[in-house]
Amino acid sequence: MKSLKIISIKIFIISFLLITASGCSDFLDEENKSDYTQENYFKTAEHAESAINTLYAALRFVSDGSGTYGESPFMMLEFPTGLLNTEVGQSQYNNNYRNLTANAEDNYAYIWWDRSYEAIANANLAIERIPAINMNEGDKNKFVGQAKFMRAFHYFNLVRMFGDIPLILKPVDASSDQLYASRSPQQDVYDAIVADLLDAEESGLPFTDSTGRISLGAVKTLLSSVYLTMAGYPLQAGDSYYKLAADKAKEVIDSDGYSLFDDYDKLHDSNVKNTGEFIFQNQYLSGVFNSSVTAWLLPRSLNISQFSDEFGCMYPTIAFINAHEAGDKRLEEQEFYYTQYPSIEDPNEMVNFSATYIFKHFDEDAVLRTAQSDLSWTFFRYAEVLLTYAEAGFEAYGPIPEVLEAVNQIRRRAELTEFDASVTREIIWKERFYELSFENKYWFDMVRRRKVLNLNTGNFEDFVGHQFTYGPTLTEKYLLFPIPQREISNNNNLRPQNTGWD
């Protein structure tokens, strides 16, 4: 299994590039101070910090390219929802998921698997080695807490995508009995995720952190999402987990550390990061580490930007747009979506699109001036915390005032009528559906509920048998993604393949 055999050495190469090595005071000194190995690397506080920095850098794979035209790993979680069109015929993996014709050779699944396990391997090294470093104990605890959060974050993605997966909590080398690891039951993976996050809660992290590092608020937000998922499928852990999810989300709400932005523009303002509504994001730096998300989502080749390529990779179906409630501000021009934009050659000429496109990931400065976007990809924002509390709190406590206020904060910003005690769970689900659209949330929601919104009827129906408005029908196969075939070929212990992917 390539991703588990070689990744443990990568941290030393990456970390060395992230720190400045001191020169030798004596040019005759024959000690090679850049000859880092697992045994001699974790010696100083700087080594610990660079190891953690590696984990932050690894987050960018989700919204980076996949080595194929007009495709990115985050898109894998969007096309199987049946809510998207694409203008890119040569984007094989996007089209396969849109049409539900993907197979186990899929490159997206491989990237999610490989990069996630690479990050987990680096987290394992940090968790094992940092405690032995002679450094400030408070800083040490925070570093380990960040590493445990990262390990939990990647395992949470993997277990939801692939089901039973290898659970590796120690560094792996050539002599390890986990070199060719077997798949662990999902319950064991979730137990490990929860344990890591409970440890991270006690590691001394600040509740908010505007630098982009993991905060206590991010830990509690992820934990609330984990509990909400455990309450649903496939574990169906019981109503007590709805209470755990609601109570954990309420801790974030009650902290007053986060708040909804007054307007939607700040959701895609590259000058606003890691503060306000943003709880956990990856980080880009214009001209150094650029994001391509804006370019991928621009209408194809309409010459409205400075980008050399305007891809048209994904845009909503008309059925999705039409399913919105009348008067929803999120549907107004240049809120979450847009239908026209000025020509880059003549700002007085308005270019009208043939469809509605996604505006919530639109970097105006990159479009109009630089063609270099450093817009962060957001993993968690405060709106999700409110909606998690509303959904889980409804199940745990019913439509109490606090539950209604959480979802009504979202409604008020969207300039919609507030809900009252007659609200149902399905109505709360819909609010999450519209607010968190195209943020890598809905496929996970579909799977944990086993329910999908029928855009024509406005009702939720069973996942298996749900027909997309453009034809394909969901089967049990798409409750999970395939274990990458190249991984199974390297490691027979990963068999059997997930249902339907043989």
pLDDT, tens digit (0-9, with 9 covering 90-100), for 236-280: 999 999 999 999 999 999 999 999 999 999 999 999 999 999 999
Number of domains present in the structure of the chain: 2
Residue 445 lies in a domain: no
**46 and 186 together in one domain:** yes
**360 and 480 together in one domain:** no
Among 331, 358, 375, the domain-final residue is 375
Parts of the chain with a pLDDT under 70: 1-39
**72 and 181 together in one domain:** yes
Phi, psi for residue 289 in degrees, rounded to 5? -125, 100
Could you tell me which of 201, 198, 194 has the C-alpha nearest to residue 159? 194
| pLDDT of amino acid 183 | 98
HSE at residue 146, side-chain half, CA atoms within 13 A, is 27
- Cα 6 from Cα 173, distance rounded (Å): 8
Could you tell me which of 487, 502, 490, 492 has the C-alpha nearest to residue 110? 487
Structure tokens given for 155: 């395992």
Inter-axis angle of helices 10-18 and 107-129, nearest 10: 70
**4 and 105 together in one domain:** yes
Domain boundaries, position 84: 1-17+41-204+468-502
Phi, psi for residue 14 in degrees, rounded to 5? -65, -45
| pLDDT of amino acid 41 | 84
Residue 216 lies in a domain: no
Which pTM value belongs to this model?
A: 0.93
| pLDDT of amino acid 329 | 98
- Cα 97 from Cα 386, distance rounded (Å): 30
52-80 burial, b at 16+ Cβ within 10 Å, e below that, comes to bbbbbbbbbbbbbebeeebbbbbbbbbbb
Q: What is the CATH number of the domain that holds 143?
A: 1.25.40.390
Structure tokens given for 263: 């307007």
| pLDDT of amino acid 30 | 38
Residue 472 lies in a domain: yes
| pLDDT of amino acid 17 | 34
